[in-house]
Each structure stands twice: as structure tokens, then as C-alpha cells.
Amino acid sequence: MTNPFIPRETVHTWSEEIGDHPEVHQTSLQRQLKSQRRLTRWIEQNAAPFQGASAGICVYLTGVVARMYELAGGRLKNATWATIREVEGSVQQRLVGLLPMDGFTDRLKAFGDRAQPHILDEAVLALFEAQTDDDTAQLEPTEALKVLAVLWVVIEVLDHCWTPPAGFVGETTYTHVPIAPPAPSDAPEDTAAEATP
């Protein structure tokens, strides 16, 4: 049973705040990654074969995800290897069912069987839909998919470990909420290297 969902607008606001002011969130972001040593180790293992900037982007975005759980409040226990492996297998099965790449993001947005779907939708926005400046290379779709697969596992694992704060009111049913991708001039600076635990 997944937790109630953090609303889409809240997720997007937090994402923009972290991207626009990384120096404010950097310490907490790194602390969250360090406190989840098993999950961080799993991320490092899975990001190792990524090409180019993919590994750094993956580590940064997983830190952003962990920070969102912290901002939501409540309690976040440490993930076990058993939970990580179970979630990994489950996500892989669901991911394969959403392929091929052509039309993948549309099928994912219509797929509600996932923890905190609005956080994953924010990752889709960042990896597949955000516009970039002409001199900024966007990840190739296959690399973006690899990063998204890691993020999906991280979100599911953290949601399993998360106990929302008393009085938390979230959503219990998922409906995709369209949010326009930021223009190139609004894109956050590359802080991936800074987020390495």
C-alpha cells in the first residue's frame, strides 16, 4: 500500500525551488543521500555504466527526490536491501510493459500503479520535456530512460520507508497534471557534480 500522493503543484514548486536555490538545499540533499547508505550504494552501482553527464544528473535528481520527502515531513527510515531488490524487480517489470520508447512518456503518464506518481512526472518533465539552450546537450532518450528507471526505484523505495507526518493530507487517486516545461533561460544550473555524496 503506497502513501497518499504529494500534490503535483507542491512537487513542482519544490523542484523549482531546489533547482533555483541549490545552495540552500545542498546540505540537506547530501545528508539525505548519506543517511540512505544502502540505497545510495545501489544508485552508484546502477549509475556507474551511464554515459556522459547521465551519472551526475542521476545522483543529483535522486538527491532532489530524497529532499522532497524531507520537505514533506514525517519519518524516513533506512531502506533495507530486501526492499530495494523487491522494488527493483517490480519497477523493471512495469517499465518493460511501458516500452517501446515511441510514446513511452504518454503511456507512463496514464499509468497510475506507482508510488508518488507526481514526483516521477516531475522527473519525466526534467529528463524528456524540458527545453535546453542551444549549447546545452539534452540526454539521449535511452540515457534519459536509464536515469528515469533509477529514479522510479528510488521513489518507490523511499515511499516504502516514509511515514507521513500526522495530519498529512495527500491525494489517493492519480490523474496526470500537465505542467509546461521551463524555457531554456529558466533551466537550473548544472549542480549534478555538487550533489555527489
Q: What is the pLDDT of residue 125?
A: 92
Cβ atoms of 169 and 1 within 8 Å: the answer is no
Cβ atoms of 160 and 87 within 8 Å: the answer is yes
Q: What is the pLDDT of residue 147?
A: 95
Tell me the C-alpha distance between 42 and 157, whole Å: 11
Cβ atoms of 33 and 197 within 8 Å: the answer is yes
Q: What is the DSSP string of 15-50?
A: HHHHHH-HHHHHHHHHHHHHH-HHHHHHHHHHHTT-
Phi, psi of 116 (to 5 degrees): 40, 60
C-alpha cell at 184: 531554456
pLDDT in tens, 113-159: 899 999 999 999 999 988 665 434 578 899 999 999 999 999 999 99
Q: What is the pLDDT of residue 135?
A: 39
Cβ atoms of 146 and 50 within 8 Å: the answer is yes
Q: Assess whether the previous peptide bond of 164 is cis (omega < 30° from 0).
A: no
Nearest to 65 by CA among 9, 132, 131, 19: 19
Q: What is the pLDDT of residue 132?
A: 61
